[in-house]
Structure 1
Amino acid sequence: MDSFTELRRRHVEDVRRFTPEAVARLDWTREQVRAHQTKRLREVVSHAVQHSPYYAERLGHLDARALELDDLPSIPPMTKADVMTHWDQIVTDPELHLDDVVEHLEALHAGKHQNYYYLGKYYAAATGGTSGQRGVFLWDWETFIATANATYRMEVRDDQLHPPDGPRRTAVICAGSFVHASRLLFPTMLDPQRDTLVLSAGTPIGQMVEQLNDYQPDRLVGYASIVEELCAEALDGRLAIQPQRILTNSEPLLPEARNMALEAWGINIHNSWGSVEIGLVATEGDSFAGSTLAEDMVIVEPVDVEHRVVADPAQADHVLVTKLCGTVMPLVRYVMTDTLVLDNGPNPDAPGYRRIVDIKGRSDAWFVYAGDIKIHPMVFRSVLGQDRHISEYQVQQTERGAKVLAITHGDFEPSRPTAALQQALADAGLGNAQVSIESVAELPRHPQTNKLKRFVPLAK
């Protein structure tokens, strides 16, 4: 057994060992959640100040042992640029150096070795290939344990209440290599009796359909865009499976995909939210009343464009996130450009936790045209999502409008949605827009992660 396989086996065992506690935490009250957050915030900041030169200078003036959650706004935010500029000073293990970690990742990409654990205990991943700003982040042993449980603990609790009948088979569609976090995370089942089939998101859709038909999974986990394509395949009669549960990740889930899953299989989709920086930290329960935020593992602050906390979460521009699990790469008030709408009201899936009731996408995904005309992605979604002949699309901004690549079905006629988009853009302030829609067999995906970036702004 090679070193990676053995480390992976031990890691999954530790993940499952923590599962009973992770599931029990779903019953915490709001007071219990906040008490845990306060305790972990003090521990994380104390460790960071003691072991990270960056945080010693930045937060050394604070009494970490007396920190309260209400003190967070006094701490300056940190960005991905901060992380990359001060990487060696941020990490708390003096053995770690950015150049060495990058060399490790490059060797993995080149196939020079296959041990994805760096120094036998850390998982390294790069992110930002689709946004243009690269970042390199580390998960320590604890971060992965917490993240894997946050991903599937809702499912485990539901299985305890309603044990599944028949074979337990989950098909996981993710990146093809462990270099991307999705390959490490999503095939990690908390139920040791559950079998998994792992498919690369870069697999041609016809081949993917064939393998799924052979495997007959009762559960489906995958990128939101891939699941949407599979829904279309099922509605067209080519995909003949009967999943009982679907979990989407890594990309915005559109309402059209939920409707297609309901039409194809009679079930709704459980959505999730997270990132390479912090792991997956929100999943949707069976109430479908929003994704429960794993606030035992992160603190999330909705803020405006100036990073000021907003009273009304619906008015937030983006969020600041503080990691409460793992200590090797502390992230305290880290800027994430995702635009989340949080609900502080009663959560039917976990009483002590807030919910994400809407993910509007990234605040940097708006299309900005000459004259500071700003177009939200919803302008395109409202048209393209209503055309029954379009199952998937990518919108590429052009100087005077947009080029749309679309996977189409049946007798598709582009003139109607083209005219509708031109009118919608005019209504949003962009008159005389130039719009084209091209039918394609597949959409361009990131070469390493296989993710689809649905809205592609012009390079700044």
Structure 2
Amino acid sequence: MPEMLMRLDWSREQIEAEQRRGLRETLAIAQEKSPFYAARLRGVDPNSFTLADLPHIQPVTKSDVMEHWDGIVTDPRLTLDQANAHLAALRDETEDNAYFRDEFYLCATGGSSGRRGLFLWDADFFATAACVAYRLEAREDELNPPTGPRRTAVICAGSYLHASRMIFPISPDLEREILPISASESIQVIVEMLNSFQPDRIVSYSSIMEELCAEASAGHLQISPRRISVNSEPLTDDARAATEALWGINIHNAWGSVEMGMCGMEGDQFDGLILSEDVCIFEAIDDDGAIIQAGQADHLLVTRLYGNTLPLIRYELTDSLLISPHGSSNAPAYRRVSELAGRSDVWFLYGEQRVHPMVFRGVLGQEPAIVEYQVRQTRTGADIDLITQAPLDLPLIQRQLIQELASQGVIAPSINVAIVNELPRHIETGKLTRFLALK
């Protein structure tokens, strides 16, 4: 963490020097140890490679990763079949060790695209991503040491099968007490836990934070947080205004992915997400397919400079965002994202009962046979369309989802699951909306 803190004050030249160093190291490892990249990088000399040479390398998609997983990983002991078997054992509770082969973390995701991917974190990935996630908070603590009890409530996935449970319930402050709370709990239970714990900081999904603001306005939630951070979903202006009115503080936004770790964090000036350019190379692509330094980006090509057990070089992220031509006051040499789109999770409302999409994702996103999915809410449950790549026990999926909805308080839930050849996408962007709530 001390080194990561110093990097916030780097010049643009220092950032690009680190990108060049990390890129050459990543290329060398991938070329030597990954059969997939050995073929793709044939003729590339890592020792003389520059940032300007990156566009000559063919991009990698999530489909590429899933098709060539065994050839991409740099550890020959690891296979996709073994990884899927490990996740299946965790789901079935026949395995309680969250670490694959005792040293790697696995997480399956659908992301904003809706296509399933399975990604692997090594120790370097976790440590680096954790430092990026919390370094702005750590620097603020150095400048203004917190007083009183130090307690952080983290509202995240209830299971380690989802990366939010792995990365967010941590802190660089060893004296800070952390309470993970499952996002699948009812809002009443979450309020009770927060009232009992009395956190001075909250880390949460954006939509749940909006619910908590409503509970605080109604007098049910009685806490006095001094810092709030959100992730995984779009942050609305209404949520910012509500926390300002309730507690006199703004919300720190965060943007990340299981593939890349923490891509952007918001500092104490609340002027946009600072891109983590010291650990990733971000190529913003506009509607015409051109690389831009600032402006509206249709998608990104990202090269991760750490966690090289599963290297990702020019990996496509489908998030749409606006990059400001001006840097952040918290880290002036780093580019800044002033507007972020592409994350579309919504609440499903059944009468008075709210259900987070995590409930559906926890079943559908972990099944290897499911390639893509779309969940359309009905009055008593959901209609779900699946694109599959292998035989699938549809009645089992249906029973699991019914059980999950019932556990959330939905009365007599009904689930209809069908296998289809294609899913409807946005006519202009081509993106898939994974969760469609009733209007």
Shared topology, TM-score over 0.5?
yes
Q: Does 1:151 align with 2:133?
A: yes
Work out whether 1:206 is the aligned partner of 2:118. Answer: no
Provide the rounded CA distance (Å) in 2 between the counterparts of 1:449 and 1:20. Answer: 36
Corresponding residue for residue 20 of structure 2? 38
Q: Name the counterpart of 1:360.
A: 341
Alpha-carbon distance, 1:261 to partner: 1.2
Asked if 1:441 corresponds to 2:423, the answer is no
Give the structure 2 partner of residue 340 of structure 1: 321
For 1:270, give the aligned amino acid. Answer: H
C-alpha contact (below 8 Å) 2:327/2:336 kept by paired residues: no
Task: After TM superposition, give the deviation of residue 439 of structure 1 in Å.
Answer: 5.9
Are the equivalent residues in 2 in contact too, given 1:170–1:194 (CA < 8 A)?
yes
| Residue-by-residue CA offset, 1:386-438 (whole Å, 9 max, x unaligned) | xxxxxx965xxxxxxxxxx66xxxxxxxxxxxxxxxxxxxxxxxxxxxxxxx8
Structure 1 residue 456: Cα displacement: 7.0
What's 1:295 paired with?
277
Q: Distance in 2 between matches of 1:202 and 1:289?
A: 31
- Other structure's SS at 2:178 match: strand
For residues 335 and 306 of structure 2, what CA distance do their matches in structure 1 show?
Answer: 18
Q: Any unmatched runs of 5+ in structure 1?
A: 1-18, 366-391, 395-404, 407-437
In the aligned structure 1, how far is the partner of 2:287 from the partner of 2:132?
Answer: 29
Q: Distance in 2 between matches of 1:263 and 1:338?
A: 31
Instruction: Select the residue among 222, 242, 249 that pairs with 1:240.
Output: 222
Give 3-state SS (helix, strand or coil) of 2:125's partner. Answer: helix
Q: Report sequence identity in percent.
A: 48
Instruction: Report the 3-state secondary structure (helix = DSSP H, G, I; strand = E; otherwise coil) of the residue aligned with 1:170.
Output: strand
Pick closer, same or farther for the CA change 1:307–1:54 going to 2, 3 Å.
Answer: farther
Structure 2 residue matching 1:43: 3-state secondary structure: helix
Match of 1:322 among 290, 295, 303: 303
Q: Could you tell me which residue of structure 1 aligns to residue 105 of structure 2?
A: 123
Structure 2 CA distance for partners of 1:255 and 1:439, relative to 1, 3 Å: farther
1:105 correspondence with 2:87: yes
Match of 2:9 among 8, 23, 27: 27
Distance 2:234 2:218 in 1: 23
Q: CA RMSD in A?
A: 2.2
In 1, the alpha carbon distance for the partners of 2:108 and 2:356 equals: 20
The AA in structure 1 aligned to 2:202 is L
Q: Is the 8 A contact 2:295 2:325 kept in 1?
A: no
Q: Helix, strand or coil: the match of 2:330? A: coil
Q: Take 1:217 and 1:79, find their aligned partners in 2: how far apart are those partners? A: 40
Letter of the 2:106 counterpart: A
Q: Which residue of 2 aligns with 1:49?
A: 31
TM-score normalised by length of structure 2:
0.80
Give the paired residue count.
370
What is the DSSP-based 3-state SS (H/G/I as helix, E as strand, rest coil) of the residue aligned with 2:106? strand
For residue 30 of structure 1, report the CA deviation from its aligned partner. Answer: 1.0
Mapped to 2, the partners of 1:456 and 1:345 lie a distance apart of 39
Compared with structure 1, are the counterparts of its residues 193 and 44 closer, same or farther at alpha carbon in structure 2 (3 Å cutoff)?
same
Q: Does 1:169 align with 2:175?
A: no
SS of 2:138's equivalent in the other structure is: helix
Instruction: Give the TM-score of the pair, scaled to structure 1.
Output: 0.77
Deviation of 1:131 after TM superposition, in Å, equals 4.5
- What are the ranges of 5 or more consecutive residues in structure 2 without an aligned counterpart? 364-373, 377-384, 386-422, 425-439
**1:209 counterpart letter in structure 2:** V
The Cα shift of 1:307 comes to 4.2
Contact 2:155 2:182 in 1 (8 A): yes
Cα displacement (A) at 1:150: 0.5
Partner of 2:40: 58
SS in 2 for 1:322: strand
Cα distance change on mapping 1:128 and 1:30 into 2, 3 Å: same
Assess if the C-alpha contact under 8 Å between 2:213 and 2:242 holds in 1.
yes
1:171-197: CA deviations, max 9, x gaps?
A: 000000111111111011110010011
Alignment match, 2:406: none
The answer to whether the Cα contact below 8 Å between 1:222 and 1:249 also exists between their aligned partners in 2 is: yes
Aligned partner of residue 274 in structure 2, secondary structure: strand
2:138–2:172 Cα contact (<8 Å) kept: yes
Q: What displacement does 1:355 show?
A: 1.2
